[in-house]
């Protein structure tokens, strides 16, 4: 995977891609893509919302499969 250089992706080197979905980011006013699979397939990032902090990941089934430091970065971002 490739990652954008942002606070959420700091220190993240790789993620296991088992099953999931990609996101259509045709309108960047709503989605900020921070991770791509080979071929520039967008699969990770926050949804821009004033009501809540939402992070999407078309990746593994369950946060326990996601390696550090992404989990810590998400917790820092969310709280």
Instruction: Give 77's DSSP letter.
Output: H
Task: Provide the whole-model pTM.
Answer: 0.68
Residue 10 has pLDDT above 90, yes or no: yes
Closest by Cα among 24, 65, 18 to 43: 24
Question: Is it the case that residue 17 has pLDDT exceeding 70?
Answer: no
**Does position 60 have pLDDT exceeding 70, yes or no?**
no
Please, what sign has the CA dihedral across residues 63, 15, 67, 8? negative
Confidence band of 5 (pLDDT split at 50, 70, 90): very high
């Amino acid at each position: 995977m490739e990652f954008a250089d942002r606070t959420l992706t700091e220190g993240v080197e790789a993620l296991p891609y088992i099953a999931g979905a990609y996101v259509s980011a045709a309108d960047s006013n709503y989605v900020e893509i921070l991770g791509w699979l080979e071929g520039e397939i967008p699969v990770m990032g926050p949804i821009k919302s004033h009501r809540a902090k939402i992070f999407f990941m078309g990746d593994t089934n369950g946060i326990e499969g996601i390696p550090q430091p992404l989990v810590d970065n998400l917790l820092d971002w969310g709280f």
